[in-house]
Amino acid sequence: MELLDYTAPATLDDALEALRATPGARPMGGGHRLILDMKRRARRIPLLVDLGRLDELRGVRRGPDGGLEIGSTTTIADLVADPLVRGSHAGGLLADAAAAMPDAQVRNRATVGGAVVAGADVAAALIALEAGLHLRSGGARSRRVSVERLLAGEGPAGDEVIVAVEIPATTAQGAYERLAEPAALSSLCGVAVGVTFRPGGAVGACRVAVCGGPGPARRVPALEDAAAAAPGNGAEPRLDGVFESDDVASGEYRAHLARVLTRRAVARARDRDPA
């Protein structure tokens, strides 16, 4: 690992100034994935800005619309244990996705903001929940962007920090299903659904996000349409180009898994529906 400079600011403004003043600087929450990238020399970072001292970036709060506001440096373990999360519509889906991190030490270090940037299981769950992000940069500039759009290429910029994840209130139920890659235990394919049900259990509105393989978590409208179709009234959804092939699995195999896992996740969400 190359030598680099390190700072642990006491305020968010100081952290933003450090990022602005040093091109190529990177913020660090839990540091799990970032440290791995650095050890592999996948990133060259002149300055590491540790956000761990910023209490304002931790914790779960009730949002003004009745949804949830989750500080970006809240750990995954603290997230799923929080009473506000456990008592909300998001609880089951986030707990499912967090369980995809098989190592308790990782869950105790990994942060919500880092999980979004990593674009894997928790990010897929947040896309299904229509979650947004509050980002800040120097000069008190701020913006809001959905997790879906951010992972599609809208940042964060080098001088931006994810301040909070915002999950809107909804009556949807959620569930996450995945198949693990045996060697690394990462998700060969994962599927998150956020779904509302009509009386009698038919699917109403539905959001489906997938992860696994090259590329970050992304929403898949074809799987949403298939989930909402009446049983037996639709062909298998075409997922051309949704998954790329790599040295672990082909894109076609991952697409097959996504179809199967979507059905399982919808069934699991239906079991959770209080209606």
CATH of residue 229's domain is: 3.30.390.50
pLDDT score at 37: 63
d(C-alpha 253, C-alpha 223), whole Å: 15
Among the candidates 146, 167, 188, a domain finishes at 167
The number of domains in the chain is: 3
What b/e readout covers 76-86, taking b as 16+ CB neighbours within 10 angstroms?
bbbbbebebbe
Q: What is the mean pLDDT of residues 196-220?
A: 92
Same domain, 225 and 250: yes
pLDDT score at 168: 94
Nearest to 78 by CA among 53, 50, 111: 111
Which of 81-86's residues contact partners 24+ apart within 8 Å by CB, and which partners? Answer: 84/60, 85/60
Same domain, 89 and 178: no
Q: Token pair of 85, please?
A: 């999360």
d(C-alpha 25, C-alpha 163), whole Å: 17
pTM of the model: 0.92
Instruction: Answer whether residue 183 shows pLDDT above 90.
Output: no
pLDDT score at 150: 95
| Cis peptide, bond prior to residue 156, ω within 30 of zero | yes
The overall average pLDDT reported for the chain is 89
Strand 161-167 and strand 68-71: pairing? antiparallel
Same domain, 79 and 160: yes
d(C-alpha 154, C-alpha 148), whole Å: 9
CATH code for the domain of 30:
3.30.43.10
Instruction: Answer whether residue 228 shows pLDDT above 90.
Output: no
Full residue range of the structural domain in which residue 204 is found:
173-272
Query: What's the pLDDT tens digit per position in 113-141?
Result: 999 998 999 999 999 999 999 999 887 78
Cα–chain center distance at 75: 13
Same domain, 208 and 242: yes
pLDDT score at 64: 87
pLDDT band, residue 200 (cuts 50/70/90):
confident
pLDDT score at 95: 93
Are 15 and 52 in contact by the 8 Å Cβ rule? The answer is: no
d(C-alpha 12, C-alpha 161), whole Å: 9
CATH code for the domain of 114:
3.30.465.10
Query: What's the pLDDT tens digit per position in 38-49?
Result: 665 656 788 889
pLDDT band, residue 111 (cuts 50/70/90):
very high
Same domain, 177 and 265: yes
Same domain, 216 and 231: yes
Nearest to 162 by CA among 76, 52, 73: 73
Among the candidates 167, 187, 203, a domain finishes at 167
Same domain, 63 and 153: yes
pLDDT score at 106: 85
Answer with the residue of higher pLDDT: 66 or 260: 260
DSSP secondary structure string for all residues of the chain: ----EEE--SSHHHHHHHHHHSTT-EEESS-HHHHHHHHTT----SEEEE-TT-GGG-SEEE-TTSSEEEETT-BHHHHHH-HHHHTSTHHHHHHHHHTTS--HHHHHH-BHHHHHHHTSHHHHHHHHTT-EEEEEETTTEEEEEEHHHHHTT----TT-EEEEEEE---S-EEEEEEEE-TTT-SEEEEEEEEEEE-TTS-EEEEEEEEE-SSS--EE-HHHHHHHHSPTTSSPPPP-TTTS---SS--HHHHHHHHHHHHHHHHHHHHHH---
Query: What's the pLDDT tens digit per position in 233-258?
Result: 666 888 988 999 999 999 999 999 99
pLDDT score at 39: 60
Q: What is the mean pLDDT of residues 48-71?
A: 92
Same domain, 128 and 159: yes
Same domain, 70 and 137: yes
Same domain, 73 and 133: yes
Q: What is the mean pLDDT of residues 9-30?
A: 89
Among the candidates 120, 135, 167, a domain finishes at 167
Q: What is the mean pLDDT of residues 250-270?
A: 95
Query: What's the pLDDT tens digit per position in 84-105?
Result: 999 898 889 999 999 888 788 8
Same domain, 243 and 263: yes
Same domain, 178 and 118: no
